[in-house]
Amino acid sequence: MKEELFRINHGTLTYHNRMLIENINLRVLKSETHGIILDSTEVKNVLIKLLCGELKLSYGKVYIMENLIKDADINKKLRNHVALIDQTRHLIPTLTIYENIYFSQFHILYLNPKHYYKCARNLFEYFNIDIPLDKPVKDLTIYEGVVIELMTAYALERKLIVLSNITNILNSIEVASIFNLIDKLKKKGLSFLVINNIEDMKLRYTDRLTIIKGGNTIGIFDSKQINKDTLYRIFYYDQENTDIQHRYKYNNNSSNEIFSVHNLTDDILKNISFQVHKGEIVRILYTDETSVNRLISVLKGEHTSFVGNILLEGHNFKPMYGYMNYKNDIGFVEEDSIERMLFKNLSAFDNLSYPLSNKVKWFWLKNRYKKSMEIQLQDILDPEKLKHTLSALSPDDQLKIVYCKWLLYNPKLLICVKPFSVADAQNQLTEKLITLLSERGIAILIITSSWPSFSSINGKILYLRNGVLENK
């Protein structure tokens, strides 16, 4: 398994009083060529500034070499690890090629120019580059300029190289040659982010592909499993986009199916059928209370007089009475969850430990479990807050505990009942927590009558009306 080089988790960024990046998740592996396609030049420019350490996230986490970077250090770390190659030449035209490559050692370069000339010559021989080292930079072709900038990034020991729109300024032979050089650099541990519009993205030269639409990451794909026709459908057709995302991301085959309902029928519900796959988010929007109350009663095991089948990982499933179905690897987040699902007089740690303590034998007697919890949640909750009583925590921290206890427990399916309200300041945080659970592979079923106007959650939407479940 490849090591992770760089990651952004749930990034948002407001630029000139506008939220251009709403929810970006990006993960680049070591020695990987990772493509990014965006639908907005403005978002692309802001993302590049972010990657190069010129802007900071308004919200979110940045990891380099799997280490969380402190907010105060992010810009410096990115400037030291990331190089940008785009249509603007970043070389000094008055210097020669080898002087540009080793310009970071400028203070000693002229004390021993022969040494650095030799270093550059050895570098060119190793990578089979046939460009005269004494050639003035101002005389380089566009292709040669890209080659020299790649060599400069390598000499500067940059780990991540961002290539923005270079394929549309080179001919096909030059593009092939550049990516042949990139393959050699990947063997040296470098990673590459290729940012392009949909028309100019060369899928065959990338390993994976992230699609960003409307400032949100809507899918991460294996480049070998997607084609331009699918990309056009994702970008230019609103219908079925999220189904495409999940079909590729989770491969939606029977081995990934976690939970399914088949032809569920009683005096209110009529032939209800749906599936939820590993890591998938499925939304059921309802219009009448009678239908949804009955469906929830069935899922909780409160109502058992029905025909049809309910399966968990392909096996017959009989819900246990009550919302704590943890013995069957199903969890619930109830409406008004902070008031109904947390114990205000207990500590944050005690709240997080339930229902995990029912799953792990001798949980309360072994201190290592507490330490493990602290490490798992350190990017979400300050470990110091775990000892505080729940009433001493902010509403946001209390909401995090609602979802983090299921993150720790890791059920196969989490059912969220009415998690949003029309005007709730916590809706954005709720979305981020639900998305985090989904990214950990937990199947999510959301049952609600309302949906935030600016939601970044993607996934299948089903509609429950008068006992009938439809996809439109």
Specify the amino acid at residue 157.
E
How many Å apart are CA 100 and CA 290, to the nearest integer?
72
How many domains does the chain fold into?
A: 2
Q: What is the pLDDT of residue 112?
A: 66
Helices 427-439 and 395-409 pack at an angle, to 10 degrees, of 10
Last residue of one domain, picked from the residues 212, 237, 262? 237
Taking residue 224's Cβ as centre, other Cβ atoms within 10 Å add up to: 12
Point out the least confidently predicted range of 140-149, 156-165, 316-325. 316-325
- Does 129 reside within a domain? no
Point out the least confidently predicted range of 44-53, 246-255, 359-368. 246-255
Structural contact between residues 210 and 34, judged by C-beta atoms closer than 8 angstroms = yes
Tell me the sheet residues that pair with 446.
283, 416
Which of residues 88 and 281 earns the better pLDDT score?
281
Q: What is the pLDDT of residue 357?
A: 62
Q: What is the pLDDT of residue 249?
A: 42
| 220 and 319 share one domain | no
Helices 228-236 and 241-250 pack at an angle, to 10 degrees, of 140
Mean pLDDT across the stretch 154-173?
91
- Does 150 reside within a domain? yes
Last residue of one domain, picked from the residues 237, 268, 284? 237
Question: Is the confidence at residue 206, as pLDDT, over 70?
Answer: yes
| 217 and 78 share one domain | yes
Point out the least confidently predicted range of 47-56, 102-111, 268-277, 394-403. 102-111
Q: Which residue has the tokens 């993150």?
A: 407
| 67 and 169 share one domain | yes
Specify the amino acid at residue 382.
D
Mean pLDDT across the stretch 161-167?
92
Q: What is the pLDDT of residue 320?
A: 63
DSSP state of 14: E
How many Å apart are CA 156 and CA 152, to the nearest integer?
6
Percent of the chain with pLDDT over 90: 39
Structural contact between residues 23 and 435, judged by C-beta atoms closer than 8 angstroms = yes
| 213 and 80 share one domain | yes
Mean pLDDT across the stretch 257-270?
92
Structural contact between residues 211 and 232, judged by C-beta atoms closer than 8 angstroms = no
Question: Is the confidence at residue 1, as pLDDT, over 70?
Answer: no
φ and ψ at residue 382, rounded to 5 degrees: -65, 120
- Does 112 reside within a domain? no
| 380 and 460 share one domain | yes
Question: Is the confidence at residue 403, as pLDDT, over 50?
Answer: yes
Confidence of residue 452 (pLDDT cuts 50, 70, 90): low
How many Å apart are CA 288 and CA 320, to the nearest integer?
25
| 269 and 416 share one domain | yes
Q: In Å, what is the CA distance from 445 to each residue of 45, 366, 463?
A: 35, 33, 13
Point out the least confidently predicted range of 192-206, 266-280, 335-349. 335-349
Confidence of residue 291 (pLDDT cuts 50, 70, 90): very high
Residue 173's CATH number: 3.40.50.300
Q: What is the pLDDT of residue 10?
A: 87
| 225 and 341 share one domain | no
Point out the least confidently predicted range of 19-28, 82-91, 450-459. 450-459
What secondary structure does DSSP assign to 153-177, as a single string? HHHTT-SEEEEES-TTSS-HHHHHH
| 262 and 224 share one domain | no
Last residue of one domain, picked from the residues 237, 263, 291? 237
How many Å apart are CA 281 and CA 414, to the nearest integer?
10
Confidence of residue 243 (pLDDT cuts 50, 70, 90): very low
How many Å apart are CA 444 and CA 427, to the nearest integer?
16
Confidence of residue 87 (pLDDT cuts 50, 70, 90): confident
Question: Is the confidence at residue 237, as pLDDT, over 60?
Answer: no
Q: What is the pLDDT of residue 104?
A: 63
Q: What angle do CA 277, 279, 285 make, to 5 degrees?
A: 70
Question: Is the confidence at residue 409, as pLDDT, over 60?
Answer: yes
| 272 and 361 share one domain | yes
Mean pLDDT across the stretch 36-65?
92
Mean pLDDT across the stretch 168-186?
93
Structural domain span for residue 289: 254-470
How many Å apart are CA 58 and CA 61, to the nearest integer?
10
- Does 110 reside within a domain? no
| 261 and 207 share one domain | no
Mean pLDDT across the stretch 239-261?
54
Mean pLDDT across the stretch 403-430?
81
- Does 165 reside within a domain? yes
Q: What is the pLDDT of residue 133?
A: 87
- Does 15 reside within a domain? yes
Cis peptide before 355 (omega within 30 of 0): yes
Mean pLDDT across the stretch 442-470?
84
- Does 217 reside within a domain? yes
Confidence of residue 347 (pLDDT cuts 50, 70, 90): confident
| 306 and 450 share one domain | yes
Mean pLDDT across the stretch 91-107?
76
Q: What angle do CA 437, 443, 446 make, to 5 degrees?
A: 85
Confidence of residue 205 (pLDDT cuts 50, 70, 90): very high
How far does CA 186 lie from the centroid of its chain?
23
- Does 297 reside within a domain? yes
Question: Is the confidence at residue 274, as pLDDT, over 60?
Answer: yes
Which token pair is 97?
């090629």
Which of residues 43 and 426 earns the better pLDDT score?
43
End-to-end Cα spacing for the chain: 40
Which of residues 97 and 252 earns the better pLDDT score?
97
Q: What is the mean pLDDT of the chain?
A: 83
Tell me the sheet residues that pair with 373.
none
Question: Is the confidence at residue 367, as pLDDT, over 60?
Answer: no
| 361 and 228 share one domain | no
Question: Is the confidence at residue 45, as pLDDT, over 70?
Answer: yes
Mean pLDDT across the stretch 357-384?
67
Q: What is the pLDDT of residue 455?
A: 65
Q: In Å, what is the CA distance from 439 to each residue of 10, 179, 224?
A: 11, 31, 22
